[in-house]
Amino acid sequence: MPSSATHPHRHFLAARLPAWAATLHAAHWQALGACLTPPQGEPGAEADWFANAAPALREALLSSQSGLDAARHRLAEALTGLEQICAFAEPRLGGRLREEHQFTAPLRSTELVWLHHLFTHDVYVTTHERRSLLEAALHNFAADVSFSADSALALEGHATRRAVTVIGKTTLGDSETQVDIPLDSEQFEITALPLSPADFADTCRRLDLGGQYQAHLDSHFAAPAVRPAAIALYQHSLRASADLAHVRHQINGAALDAVQRLIDGQPGITCQQLELFGVRLHEALLIDAGAAGLLLYLPSHETMLRQFDSLEAVRTHLQQALLAPASRQAFSAYVDKAQWGALLDRAQQNLDSGNSGMDQAWSLAADADLHLRVLGIDTSLFDFLFDDHVAWLKAEARLLVVPTAEADEQARKRRLALWQSLGLNALMAAGFFVPAVGGLMLLVTAYQLLDEVYAGYQAWSVGDRREALQHLETTGLNLALIAGLGAAGAVAGKLASTPLMERLMPVELADGTQRLWLPDLTGYRSQVELPQALTANARGQFVDQGRHFIRLDGQLYEQRLDPVLQRWRLVHPDDAHAYAPLLEHNGDGAWRVEHEQPQAWDAHKLVQRLGPALADVSEAEALMALDITGLNSPALREIHLNNLPTPPLLADTLERLKIARDVAADLPGQTAQAWIDAIAERYGAVTIDTDTARLLDRYPDVPAPLARRLVNALPAEERVLWRSTDTLPPSLRQALDRLRCELPLARGLEGLHLPILAGESSERLLFASLTRLPDWPQDLHLALRAASPHGALLRECGVPLAPRRLRLIKSAAGYEADLGERPAPGRVSHDLLEALLWTLPQELGTTLAQGGADALRVRLRTLIGTARGTFRQRLLAPEHPGWRSRLRLLGGLDPTPQRPDDFSHHSLASRLRRLYPLASLEDAQRTLRDWQAALRVPEIEVARLEARLRDLQAQLTRWAGTSARRQRAMQRIVDAQRGSSIVRLMDGTAQHVMDLSGIGLDNASLESLVLPDDFRHITELDLTHSAALSRLPEHWLQRFPALERLKLRGCGFTRLPRLTRPEALVWLEMDRNPITWDPAQQADFDRYLNLRVVDFSDCPLTRAPDLSRHVQIRTLYMDNCLLSTLPTGLQHLLDPLLLDFSRNPLQTLPPAFAVPDRIARTLRLESETLSAVAAEQIDAFHSATGIDLLVPDSDYEELLAEANDAQLGIWSRLPLAWRRDLRELLESDRYLDGLPHTRTETWRRLERQDQDRYYRRRVLAQPAINLLDRPIEQS
């Protein structure tokens, strides 16, 4: 096997390998491995006789071998629990010795040193037997057993033998004269254990391991499923042997048909057992096939089935088979162990003409005689074979683990001589007992061994099964060497990883045990034909006759709900005991199997796997929808990894693209307007239920299909609460906010991709983006007017008074260029870009779009994609005027995760990244290296982390119960633990967040949730919109020692939370909480010494806090807090950006109000409830400093961001009220659509009015919003 630095399952293999397997020797493993390879060889390396055979014969052989494999596996399953002798005996013996004698010494390395003192030649001569306690207990003791006083039980190495010579007496010849005779003897120094040999023997007799093991065999082979499974194995084995013989031309078609009739139980075929040299052969058969002749069946030979014309031909063949050493040795599989030596001796005496050794070829003697007898079988053949095997197995067992009733000293000595003659000891034979009795059980044992470690191995290729066993062999031999159980001189190979091992993953079976499973779903595909009209439910499941199915990558799979974990699993269609892979799902149609890695999926698959409705989306439409909605592959991966629902806007966009495609296919040759009408009709054809209607009444700007999607996503309990309280659920409010923020830009981009979907948003987006093209001329103004050149102004871009002015006209027929008076109607198109190019001068049109409208479309989409946030804010509806500054100042950057690298196939690295989905391959590899450097075993560390995740999931399942809200929180908590929930700040840094916002958790939910110590990486906790939450439990907060950002908007807090480390907090959002201010509140607030961002908006504080100890604050919101005075300590702030105290009923500024200019410029005191005194103080401050306390400079950022000192001087000299009114212009479409040209033109006018008093008088006489409407002219 190829080597690798780290075997991913080294410790797993050692832990799962049965104890008896660690005692096997290389020969045992070789026998097990050989039986896994079919006679023709592994696929791709078949023997020539197979490759050259007729296809039909090859297919027949492969089919019968597949049936034989399945039969072996069924028998292996039926015999689950059948133990090898040592595995059966060792724990029972150890348990009895502990119970009766408190004896705990190891049974394999503690010895019974049995000293025998024989009086001979007038002197005692000492000999000994030395056996491990386990071996001695297997042999058992006769009733009359006795031990010398100096016999003892001792630990290995604590009984030292010394050879001595004793002097006895003997007579000299025939005389009576006695002379000395030296005799070999022994002396022992023994450190004896407290348990005496006699008591040990008595315990062994009463324990009767032999009797118990006989009962063990009886109970397992008498189980109802065993006999049918064994009979099926015999039948499949015979059929596979017949097909093999047919392929190799060792039997003809008639013989093959006769075998099938025998298997089918038809009359006319007789079978007999064979006896050679008086020794009966088990499993070997002579089949009388009538006209087809005689068939010799030797299932443990290379040639398993052969056809003969006569019994004499059979005799001749058997004689030749016994002459060759390898073939001769194969007969041991049919013979009782006690008779094997006798058979070999008799065979040599009767067949060998010379005196060759047992390992040499013999020459056939002239008078050779097999002493062949055939023994009739009177019962059903396959029942006979089963009964014979069980009787044979029990008889062999009695040789190794002796029942007390049969314990006899002389028999014991004969057994010891037998094992010695076979080159074994009793433990070696007992450790490999079951597979050594009969060749057919060998592969069954191999399968049972594989089954202890691997799940689903029966579906693997032959090579993979053999390789899997090789890993067990290396593990077992290494364990044997470590334990001192290996054979002398044995060498175990290095356990090296292979591609197969890298692909395997540990899984937990229904009984709680673990196996290694190959993540291949081919065998799990269901062949059930679902009704064509059956559609998926909201979860993406197809429910048919009470059974649940899902589709993954076009394949159908059945699933079931795990009642313990409350998680869905895939169901194997043919094997009820197969591992059932766990499924992840988002409750909205997206399913994935636990081993699947969205990190490795491309954008197309990421979209298709969001649910059945999107499974057939083409790659082109998927990519188009992602561009329209602003999602990318990393964002989709995060959706899958965090089990988030499909973004409503993405689903809606894909639906609209599908409708457009269907309309084009259904209405070929129709006008564009007909298509537009059909799209609108089909898109709007949705059923509006009561809840959706209520939502549309409140938010009429949301399209009905999108409103329905949002409502359908609501859990039932939240719907009920909404109906009873008329309070919009927090999750729905959050979804609406996101949707209404993104929708205008998405609709605009739809029109840029498909003109047939263009609308007002597309027009707004086009006019907002044209002037941002670097080659758009500054002296050009473009207008879109309704119906005629003088119709209502719909859109415009460029400087309003630019010298070159072009118009587009929009009518019901489409768009056309205003080319002045013309004798015939102009061209009309529903593609605004096409009409635009008709309007532009040819030279400019070529510059902007050398490839026509489509080329310009691509340029604009690229431009918008690089500044999506800017254009999103640009297209926000007028009812959201405050969003721009709020998003900017609170860090509203798009949370776009970095693209993960190609997924690793290294098992440990991939398992780490399944645990931590956003970790890169380099992160995983570095962690593995760090563990190794710290002398920690990566495999064990990964398994520990996986166990912690399983424990957390189980704990959360119990905590959530049937509560829909808690169930929604479960995945978010898991995502936080795995580090896959992040938010990106404006500086690009990522923060790990526990995001429980919008769920509506209450105090009881947090109190009852005891989190493990796995959240030290969390820096942000978000519980926004949890109206029933008024406190954070101390045990909960202790789990977040690195907390820096706390978001509690819209909760029920009346007191500030008391954090474990308040000095670490830099961000605190408490807006819309019923907090009032008092000295105790101030004391709690003062514990947060390093706050940078604070939000108390819409909290009824009443009293203003003291900010003297909070000098680090940069952004502060205390708008609408019922404050009558400003907070004290403002002058101590070091570097503020915005201090918002708007919408407060300020009565007066502090006496002698004096703050540095840098702080004053950040204040926002604008309010309709200012007292007259406060207003006068604000005006006086402006007169003295030129600083407006009502409106901060940040509100004019678009104009002032790049202003020079001279321009800032002009700005300070503008009349205050007119300057405030200028905000309306700076936020208008006409200004923003014309950037950067409109900014340049605005400064040109402001500079002119600062220099020309007549122009100044004219400008200030008009509303500020009209600044760009009049030409600059000399007065």
Q: Bridge-partner residues for 159, per DSSP?
A: 190
Nearest to 449 by CA among 940, 943, 70, 19: 19
H-helix segments, 920-987: 921-933, 938-960, 964-977
61, containing H or E segment: helix 55-78
Give me the pLDDT at residue 488, please: 41
Lowest mean pLDDT among 52-66, 270-284, 962-976: 962-976
**Region 877-888 average pLDDT:** 39
Phi and psi torsions of 841, nearest 5°:
-55, 145
Give CA–CA dist 1002/1030, Å, rounded.
8
Q: Does 2 have pLDDT greater than 50?
A: no
Q: What is the pLDDT of residue 1?
A: 35
Task: Give the dihedral sign, CA 709/712/718/722.
Answer: positive
Q: Which 8-state DSSP code applies to residue 611?
A: -
In this structure, the chain runs to a length of 1275
Q: What is the pLDDT of residues 294-332, one digit of tens each?
A: 999 999 888 899 999 999 999 999 999 999 998 888 898
Tell me: the pLDDT tens digits for 1069-1100?
999 999 999 999 999 999 999 999 999 999 99
pLDDT tens readout for residues 763-822: 999 998 998 898 889 889 999 999 888 899 999 888 888 888 899 999 888 899 988 766
User: Long-range contacts of range 579-586, CB-CB < 8 Å, 24 or more positions apart?
Assistant: 579/455, 579/456, 579/507, 579/509, 579/515, 579/517, 580/510, 581/507, 581/517, 581/519, 581/521, 581/524, 583/550, 583/559, 584/643, 585/539, 585/540, 585/643, 586/639, 586/643, 586/644, 586/645, 586/646
Alpha carbons 503 and 1161: distance in angstroms, whole number = 62
Residue 192 has pLDDT above 90, yes or no: yes
Q: What is the mean pLDDT of residues 89-102?
A: 96
b/e per residue, 303-318, with b = 16+ CB within 10 A? bbbbbbeeeeebbeeb
In DSSP terms, which residues pair with 786 in a beta bridge?
Answer: 810
Domains of the chain, by residue range, sit at 1-35+439-503, 85-207, 766-867, 1197-1275
Locus of tokens 């031999």 = 477
Least confident piece of the model among 4-18, 831-845, 1153-1167 = 4-18
- Distance, in Å, from the CA atom of 1239 to the CA atom of 427, rounded to the nearest integer, reads 94
Q: Hey, which of 433-442, 1062-1071, 1226-1235 has the most confident mean pLDDT?
A: 1062-1071
Count the Cβ atoms, other than its own, within 10 Å of residue 290.
Answer: 14
**Dist. CA 907–CA 916, nearest whole Å:** 14
pLDDT at 443 over 90: no
User: Each residue of 114-146: pLDDT tens digit?
Assistant: 999 998 888 888 888 888 999 999 999 999 899
Supply the pLDDT for residue 23. 78
Q: What is the pLDDT of residues 528-585, one digit of tens each?
A: 999 999 999 989 999 999 999 999 999 999 999 999 888 999 999 998 889 999 999 9
Identify the pLDDT of residue 1233: 79
| Segment 659-676 mean pLDDT | 89
Q: Is the peptide bond before 1236 cis (omega within 30 degrees of 0)?
A: yes
Q: What is the CA radius of gyration of the chain?
A: 44
> pLDDT category, 428, cuts 50, 70, 90?
low
Q: What is the DSSP string of 193-225?
A: -SS-HHHHHHHHHHH-HHHHHHHHHHHHHTSTT
Residue type, 138: L
Task: State residue 870's pLDDT score.
Answer: 83
Asked if 89 and 209 touch (Cβ cutoff 8 Å), the reply is: yes
Angle CA(122)–CA(128)–CA(133) in degrees, nearest 5?
150
pLDDT tens digits, residue range 727-751? Answer: 888 888 888 888 988 999 999 999 9
* pLDDT confidence of residue 284: 94
Q: Is the pLDDT of residue 888 over 50?
A: no
pLDDT band for position 420 (cuts 50, 70, 90)? low
Instruction: Check whether 892 has a pLDDT greater than 50.
Output: no
- Residues 208-214, mean pLDDT to the nearest whole number: 96
DSSP 722: H
Report in angstroms the alpha-carbon separations of 912 from 137, 576, 595, 606. Answer: 47, 30, 12, 21
Grade residue 987 by pLDDT with cuts at 50, 70 and 90: low
pLDDT at 884: 36
Cα dihedral angle (1208, 1214, 1220, 1224), rounded to 10 degrees? -80
Instruction: Judge whether 1075 and 1096 are in contact, CB under 8 Å.
Output: yes
**Quick one: 146 exposed, middle or buried, by C-beta within 10 A (0-12, 13-18, 19+)?**
exposed
**pLDDT reading at 1275 higher than 50:** no
What CA–CA distances, in Å, run from 586 to 197, 552, 644, 647, 1042? 67, 14, 5, 11, 29
Q: What is the pLDDT of residues 475-499, one digit of tens each?
A: 888 877 765 554 444 455 677 888 8
Confidence bin at 415 (pLDDT 50/70/90)? low
DSSP sequence for 1197-1235: HHHHTT--HHHHHHHHHS-HHHHHHHHHHHTSHHHHHTT
Residue that has been written with the tokens 């119709």 in this structure: 791
Kindly state the average pLDDT of the residues 1216-1224.
90
CB 578 within 8 A of CB 600: no
Degrees, nearest 5: CA angle 521-582-73: 55
DSSP 524: G
C-alpha–C-alpha distance, residues 596 and 713, integer Å: 25
Q: Where are the beta strands (DSSP E) in 356-475?
A: 373-376, 454-455
3-state DSSP assignment of residue 848: helix
**811-834 tens-digit pLDDT:** 888 899 988 766 556 788 889 999
- Alpha-carbon distance of 617 to 880, in angstroms, equals 34
pLDDT of residue 431: 56
Please state the rounded mean pLDDT for residues 16-26: 83
110 pLDDT band (50/70/90 cuts)? very high
Q: How far apart are CA 506 and CA 1060, in angstroms?
A: 38
Nearest to 214 by CA among 24, 385, 386, 83: 83
Which residues fall within 8 angstroms of residue 21, CB to CB, at 6 or more apart? 449, 452, 472, 476
Mark 217-253 as b/e (b = at least 16 C-beta within 10 Å). Answer: beebbeeeebbebbbbbbbbbbbbbbbbbbbbebbee
Query: Cα-flanking dihedrals φ and ψ of residue 1268, to 5°?
Result: -90, 5
Prediction pTM value = 0.80
